[in-house]
Amino acid sequence: MRIVLKYAALTARYPAAGRSPGAVGLSSASNSCVDEGSLIGTVAGGKAKFDAFVSLCGPGRKFGDLLREQLQKLPKELNEKCGTIITDLEAGKEVADVPKELAPLFRPSVQPYLISTMKPDPAKELAALSCPILVVSGSTDIQVKEEDYKALAACKKGVKAVRIDNMNHVLKEVKATKLEDQLPIYTDAKLPLHPKLADELSGFLKAELAAK
């Protein structure tokens, strides 16, 4: 298998039985606050000709709504300012007055990117794909909720959906659901992926590509 970067999504080239290599979109949410990785892969899937598509821990709501939820624990004044900034960005307006505490997320240099990221609806983008789809989420994901998984799973008929017990947002096995307990896992590159993940991915890909 050869992994290449294409349309900002991971595209795996698999040799399907009796034919030329097939294209498989492997789209994973990033570790950032906005979880844009999965959406980028889904949008790319509308341009690339994938034979199968896998979404790993991706959001099922627009990023503006996801951001509002993830930033709720900020102090009241900053949370209110975040809400105002997000509303402006959703309307396509760049914001000049960004508090220094929020600059890492809303600094002017990233605002055009955020504006473009807030436009697509993840569930609608996924539903527009014509290839077989696998949606995977984890029960201990503290960034993307079960409602996101359900939204993607229900976006169209025929989507295969798998929710893996005790898998978190970075695809590692963990039972804890508190942020302070999961942070060390986010940064420990030596920890293996959840043991059930590989079987789910390989089973889906083998079944779908063998039929091509």
d(CA 64, CA 35): 11
Percent of the chain's residues with pLDDT above 90? 57
Q: How far is CA 134 from CA 99, 122, 190, in A?
A: 40, 14, 26
Q: Is the pLDDT of residue 1 over 50?
A: no
Mean pLDDT is lowest, of 46-60, 70-84, 135-149, 171-185, for: 46-60
Report yes or no: 29 and 37 within 8 Å, Cβ to Cβ.
yes
What is the per-residue pLDDT across 16-66, written as a single tens digit (0 to 9) for each?
333 333 445 555 443 333 356 677 777 777 777 788 888 889 889 999 998
Element (H, E) at 207: helix 197-210
Query: Phi and psi of 49, rounded to 5°?
Result: -100, 85
Mean pLDDT is lowest, of 87-96, 134-143, 166-175, 201-210, for: 201-210
- Which residues are bridge partners to 161 per DSSP? 135
Residue 36 has a pLDDT of 65
What is the per-residue pLDDT across 67-93, written as a single tens digit (0 to 9) for each?
998 898 899 999 999 999 999 999 999
- What pTM was estimated for this model as a whole? 0.79
Tell me the DSSP string of 135-169.
Answer: EEEETT-SSS-HHHHHHHHTSSTT-EEEEETTB-T
Residue 61 has a pLDDT of 92
Q: What is the overall mean pLDDT for the chain?
A: 82
What is the crossing angle of helices 63-70 and 76-90, to 10°?
180
Selection from 183, 174, 185 nearest residue 140 by Cα: 174
Q: Residue 3: pLDDT band by 50, 70, 90 thresholds? A: very low
* Domain residue extents for the chain: 2-61+121-210, 64-117
Residue 24 has a pLDDT of 52
N-term to C-term CA, the chain: 17
Q: Is the pLDDT of residue 5 over 70?
A: no
d(CA 180, CA 198): 27
Residue 43 has a pLDDT of 77
User: Which residue reads 């000049």 in tokens?
Assistant: 96
